[in-house]
Amino acid sequence: MKYEFTPQGVCSKKIMLDVEDGIVKDVAFLGGCNGNLKGISALVKGMNVTEVIEKLENIRCGFKNTSCPAQLAKALKESL
């Protein structure tokens, strides 16, 4: 299932997901720190959605209360 999410409080403007049978098939970010977000996308590809959420949901960026990885976890939760 393809899903688009608009993150809040971070530099990225959009997160596009493809999840199938509880497994992350693909993730792409629009905006944000390009190299880091490509790295995160590559690392979570093939992982169980629940595991990704557990690992990423409490990550913060600097003084912000959230981060692009935390917003990815939020997007995955919503996609369920």
Return the DSSP state at 58.
T
pTM equals 0.95
Q: What is the pLDDT of residues 33-70, one digit of tens each?
A: 999 999 999 999 999 999 999 999 999 999 999 999 99
Query: For the domain 2-79, what is the CATH code?
Result: 3.30.390.50
CA–CA distance, 27 with 18 (Å, rounded to integer): 6
Spell out the domain ranges in the chain.
2-79
Q: Is 33 left (phi over 0), alpha (psi -120 to 50) or beta?
A: beta
- The residues, ordered by sequence, that sit 6+ positions from 3 with a Cβ below 8 Å of its Cβ are 16, 17, 18, 19, 75, 78, 79
